[in-house]
């Protein structure tokens, strides 16, 4: 009888281990603009914006969310929410909080933060990114777009051989009318780099913005692209960059801690479901508001 119990235990143990080991771990590229609104992107039906063929490609060949909302109208707060899965106006958890890059490192990812990094306390370029858990931080810490930052991003991707990578790429810029084409150019370089190295089929790409260029709301572009894995779809599911940490954690097989404001909607991000949040609490110009899945702001 003891041998029977031992055999059952071994079967259960092996089953759990193999299930975890068989989780698909794609490369992850999260591209965040600083200040883009839903109305700034031509794929949403706007005719007055600059040509953005690479941004349009992400939207047209992936999941194009019509109800993407940033959690805050402040870029630094939006970045905090993305990296921690917690609303920035709530009490922080201190050093014991798990961050998005720390989570990825736990399951074997090489991590890097390149481009704009939002921090009011930044003293050394990249120091806050490293404290967040990134294994590599690029040299750019200002608010502008930089050709050197895309060089660093391409170089980081080119050096990845075996382990999957998680690259956060921040695109700064204050004047929306002048940065559409620059942002699109950099995204095109990233796509070309991945394609040239035959990595595009194994890279999930998320594109969104920390805040809207329109002060009245936090409505932002939100696209998820994975060549050959995600079928093109337009989704009106209510989503936010806040939910990336829980959703990406589910995708790569990480159990998330309790107490997060981030919700897991990996099926929505993969285009397999049109359901996500019923409502989302936002901070807009210092005021707390709610947006609902039916697109009516009732507060």
Q: Does 244 or 138 have the greater pLDDT score?
A: 244
206-232 average pLDDT score: 89
pTM of the model: 0.86
Which pLDDT does position 14 carry in this prediction? 35
Q: How far from the centroid of its chain's Cα atoms is residue 292's Cα?
A: 21
For the chain, list the domains and their CATH numbers: 36-292 (3.40.720.10)
Spatial distance between the Cα atoms of 201 and 42, rounded to a whole number of angstroms: 25
pLDDT value, residue 95: 52
The answer to whether the Cα torsion of 149, 225, 213, 75 is positive or negative is negative
Q: Are 66 and 219 in contact (CB under 8 A)?
A: no
Nearest CA to 247 among 73, 15, 63? Answer: 63
**Residue in the block written with tokens 């993969």:** 270
Distance, in Å, from the CA atom of 185 to the CA atom of 219, rounded to the nearest integer, reads 23
| Structure tokens belonging to residue 100 | 């998005």
What are the structure tokens assigned to 190, written together? 């990233």
Q: Name residue, tokens 């807009």.
A: 284
Sort 16 into a burial class: Cβ within 10 Å, 0-12 / 13-18 / 19+.
exposed
Indicate if the pLDDT at residue 298 is higher than 90: no
Sign of CA dihedral 36, 61, 195, 83: positive
Residue 65 burial by Cβ neighbours in a 10 Å radius (0-12, 13-18, 19+): buried
Segment 197-205 mean pLDDT: 97
Residue 217 has pLDDT above 50, yes or no: yes
Residue 275 in tokens: 């359901």
Which whole number is the average pLDDT over 1-27? 48
Nearest to 72 by CA among 179, 175, 220, 206: 220
Mean pLDDT, the chain, integer = 82
Question: What DSSP letter does each residue of 76-103 carry, written as one string?
Answer: HHHHHHHHHSS-TTSPP-GGG---HHHH
pLDDT in tens, 64-118: 999 999 998 888 889 999 999 999 887 655 556 789 999 999 999 999 999 887 6
- Distance (Å, whole) CA 255 – CA 286: 33
Is there a contact between 169 and 190 (Cβ–Cβ < 8 Å)?
Answer: yes
pLDDT at 73: 85
């Amino acid at each position: 009888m003891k041998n029977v119990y031992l055999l059952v235990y071994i079967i259960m143990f092996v089953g759990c281990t193999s299930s975890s080991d068989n989780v698909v771990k794609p490369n992850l590229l999260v591209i965040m603009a600083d200040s883009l609104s839903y109305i700034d992107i031509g794929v949403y039906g706007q005719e007055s914006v600059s040509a953005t063929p690479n941004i349009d490609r992400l939207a047209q060949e992936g999941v194009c969310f019509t109800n993407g909302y940033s959690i805050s109208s402040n870029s630094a707060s939006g970045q905090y929410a993305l990296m921690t899965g917690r609303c920035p106006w709530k009490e922080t958890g201190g050093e014991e909080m798990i961050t998005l890059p720390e989570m990825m490192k736990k399951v074997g990812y090489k991590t890097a933060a390149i481009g704009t990094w939002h921090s009011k306390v930044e003293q050394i370029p990249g120091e806050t990114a490293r404290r967040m858990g990134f294994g590599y931080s690029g040299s750019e810490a200002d608010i502008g777009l930089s050709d050197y930052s895309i060089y660093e991003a391409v170089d980081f991707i080119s050096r990845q051989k075996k382990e999957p990578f998680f690259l956060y790429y921040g695109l700064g810029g204050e004047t929306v009318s002048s940065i559409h084409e620059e942002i699109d150019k950099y995204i095109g370089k990233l796509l070309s780099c991945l394609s040239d190295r035959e990595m595009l089929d194994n890279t999930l790409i998320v594109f969104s913005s920390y805040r809207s260029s329109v002060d009245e709301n936090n409505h932002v572009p939100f696209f998820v692209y994975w060549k050959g894995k995600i079928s093109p779809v337009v989704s009106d599911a209510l989503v936010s960059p806040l939910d990336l940490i829980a959703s990406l954690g589910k995708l790569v097989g990480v159990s998330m801690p309790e107490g997060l404001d981030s919700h897991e909607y990996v099926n929505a991000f993969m285009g397999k479901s049109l359901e996500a949040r019923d409502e989302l609490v936002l901070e807009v110009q210092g005021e707390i508001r709610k947006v609902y899945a039916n697109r009516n702001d009732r507060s």
